[in-house]
Amino acid sequence: MDKKFGEFGGQYVPETLMEALIEIEKAFAKYSEDPEFNRELKELYENVANRPSKLYYASEMTKDLGGAKIYLKREDLNHTGSHKINNVLGQMLLAKKMGKKKIICETGAGQHGVATATIAALFKIECHIFMGKEDVERQALNVFRMELLGAKVTSVDSGTGTLKDAVNEAFRQWTREVEDTYYLMGSVVGPHPYPVMVREFQKIIGEEVREQILLAEGKLPDAVVACVGGGSNAIGIFYDFIKDEQVKLIGVEAAGEGLDTDFHAATISKGSTGIFHGMKSKFLQDDFGKIMPVYSMSAGLDYPGIGPEHAYLYSIGRANYFPVTDEEAIDAFEYLSKMEGIIPAIESAHAIYYAMNLAKQLDKDKIIVVNLSGRGDKDVYQVAKYKGVEINEQ
């Protein structure tokens, strides 16, 4: 298994974790080739996640914008409401095969934590989740959800109290109990083998899109658009199309309050190459390599780095990455709600916004597929607050 994507990726971790990573790498290499493992995973995708997810033709939006046809890959309809479950099912099955007794993970918005707690409940595996203090406050309902599902949630108040700090603390905890514990990474980030493994468990998204779009249109899409936090939903929908050079791959990153402010999370637009969280990739950092605080109203995109495979795809020009602000994402959030009757996750709304503009510039015979990575129920309160709408909680 290749540990690197060009110069990016690798395993920059303390000695105490090397053995655990090698153990996971070996188990993954073995089971990913095992027909029984793959059969069980397929069954879990169908029975638990509700796959295949629909490829939905957004006819109202297409008509309204007057350009390219827009299709939405409905990862929001998966159990637990986002693409995160695909990866959790894969890794949890692997952890079970490895005989691990405990799962540890980080979460940003809480989506990965909820998905992990859900499957841990189903698999009867103990689950400990680390979440930044800031995110605990922003997504209080998700914290209660995780606890309801039987998980233990630890609030992390070091650093900026967000996702990057949750990862740090979860890794620290892992080194203390590495024997019987499996670290379940939520995105295509971290040391090898996580970026490869998480991609392998998410690539089902793009594989389904290929089949579905060929059935619906008889040809491949002209562009595939996805939002990028760590990059798992994006690589999941991109991966099967990398070999098809005519399909444009577009990642959308969070520009928060704008690229000319200090409040954004636009890693490709504003970042540089460095090493953090066990990987070499692009990061928002100062001249000394210190990771900078990042901001996006969407907790899921609020990460100062990007998966190494994205850094690589960008470096070779195969994929492109563009920034979308909070304000623009909220426009798209409201637009999709009104136009199609679908309330998207604020993360996904970043991708929707980009696709709206792209569609207008393209002819009617072109096709855009947008990954609707999650549903927006979790964000309704925050958007109301942003809009200055008062909602009295009972």
Ligand X SMILES: *Cc1c(COP(=O)(O)O)cnc(C)c1O
Query: Which residues participate in catalysis according to the annotation?
Result: 84, 106, 373
Which amino acid is residue 30, in one-letter code? K
The verdict on 300 binding ligand X (CB under 6 A) reads yes
Span of 230-238, 274-282, 317-325, 326-334 interacting with ligand X by CB under 6 A: 230-238
Beta strands in 67-185 (DSSP E): 69-74, 102-107, 126-132, 152-156, 181-183
CA distance 344 to 254: 15
- Compare residues 37 and 138 and give the one whose CB is closer to ligand X: 138
- Compare residues 37 and 146 and give the one whose CB is closer to ligand X: 146
The verdict on 348 binding ligand X (CB under 6 A) reads yes
The verdict on 256 binding ligand X (CB under 6 A) reads no
Q: Tell which one of 84, 145, 199, 264 touches ligand X (CB under 6 A).
A: 84
Q: Tell me how far, at minimum, the Cβ of 373 lies from ligand X, in Å.
A: 3
Cα separation values, 361 from 64, 329, 367, Å = 13, 19, 12
Query: Tokens at residue 338, please?
Result: 């009104």
- Compare residues 125 and 370 and give the one whose CB is closer to ligand X: 370
Which amino acid is residue 164, in one-letter code? K
CA distance 293 to 246: 37
The verdict on 311 binding ligand X (CB under 6 A) reads no
The verdict on 111 binding ligand X (CB under 6 A) reads yes
Q: Tell which one of 233, 267, 285, 325 touches ligand X (CB under 6 A).
A: 233
Instruction: State yes or no: cis peptide before 191, omega within 30 of 0.
Output: no
Span of 124-132, 156-164, 209-217, 229-237 interacting with ligand X by CB under 6 A: 229-237
Residue nearest to ligand X (CB): 374
CA distance 278 to 313: 19
DSSP class of 48: I
**127 contacts: CB under 8 Å, gap ≥ 6:** 102, 103, 104, 105, 116, 117, 120, 121, 149, 150, 151, 152
The verdict on 374 binding ligand X (CB under 6 A) reads yes
CA distance 185 to 214: 32
Q: Tell which one of 62, 168, 232, 281 touches ligand X (CB under 6 A).
A: 232
Which residues contact ligand X by CB under 6 A?
A: 82, 84, 109, 111-112, 187, 227-234, 300-301, 345, 347-348, 373-374
